[in-house]
Amino acid sequence: MTRNKFILLPCLFIFSILVLVILSYLGFSFGKYSFDFQDQDIILQSPSLEHPLGTDQLGRDMLARLIFGARLSFLVAVVTALIALLIGVSMGTIAGMFEGRIDFFISRTIDVIYSLPDLLVLSIIGLIFNRSTTGILFAIGLISWMDLARLSRAEILKLKQQEFILSATAIGLDKRKIFFSHLLPNILNVILVSVTFIMPRAIIAESTLSFLGLGLSPPNCSWGTLASDGWQFLNTHTNLILYPSIMIMLTVLSLNIIGDFLTELNQPRKIYI
C-alpha cells in the first residue's frame, strides 16, 4: 500500500508536466510573455509578481522559457523512445527469430555501436545536421535502441523454447503467425517497461549536448540549453541554472521510479505455502 501511494507522486509530477506541454503546444499562454520576448530593461531580474521565476541575461521570462523548454525535452524523450522501439524491437526480433548468420551480424553490429563513445556520436551527428531538432532526435535515437534489441532477442529466444511455441512449430504454423500471435504479445510488457528507462536517458543525453553547446541552436531552447545559459551566472544568479537543473532531476527521477514500479509489477511473484 505504501509503495502504491509513493508512486502517485512521480506520476502526478509527470502528468502535470505533460499537461503544461500539451497546453503550450495548443497555444495556451502562461503569462503575458513569450519564451523569446526580450526586454533589455529587466535583464537578470529577481523573481517578482510579473516574472515569478525572474528573467535571464537577455530579459526573457524564465517561467515561459522553462515551460517551452519542457516541450523540447519531452519531445526528445518521446521521439527517442519511439525510434528505439521501432529499430530495437525490429532488430532484436529478427535476430531471435532467424538466428544463425543474421543473429550473428545484428549482434556484432550492436557490439560495434556499443563500443563507440555516445558523446562523440551525438556530437558528430548533431553537427552534421547543423544542431537542428531533427538531427538531435535522430542522433539520440541512434544510440538508444541497442538495449531494446538485446532484450527483444533474449525474450524471443527464451520463448521459442517454451512448449506452446514448440507445439505451434510442430503443427506447421508459419513463423509470421507464430510471431504475431504468440511471441509478440508475450514480450510487449517487458519491452514497454524498458521504454520508460530510455526516456530519462534521452533527456540526460540532450541536456548534456546542450550544456556543452552542441545541442539545439537558438532560438529553440530545452532545459539543457537553459542550464547551459545559466552556467556563466552560477556565482551571481544561481537561479538561472537551478530551475532547469531541478526540472531535469525531478523528471528523470520520476520516470526512473515509474520504470522501477512497472518492472516490479511485471515480475512474477513467489507464493510461499
Residue type, 163: E
Specify the pLDDT at position 192: 86
Specify the pLDDT at position 85: 92
Q: What is the dihedral of CA 60, 130, 119, 190, to 10 degrees?
A: 90
Q: pLDDT by residue (tens digit) across 93-125?
A: 999 888 889 999 999 999 998 888 888 888 888
Q: pLDDT by residue (tens digit) across 77-95?
A: 999 999 999 999 999 999 9
- Tell which CATH architecture fits domain 62-266: Orthogonal Bundle (1.10)
Q: pLDDT by residue (tens digit) across 216-251?
A: 777 778 888 888 888 888 888 888 899 999 999 999
Domain chopping of the chain, boundaries? 62-266
Enter the C-alpha cell of residue 187: 514480450
Give bridge partners of residue 55 from the DSSP assignment: 61
pLDDT at 31 over 70: no
263 pLDDT tier (thresholds 50, 70, 90): confident
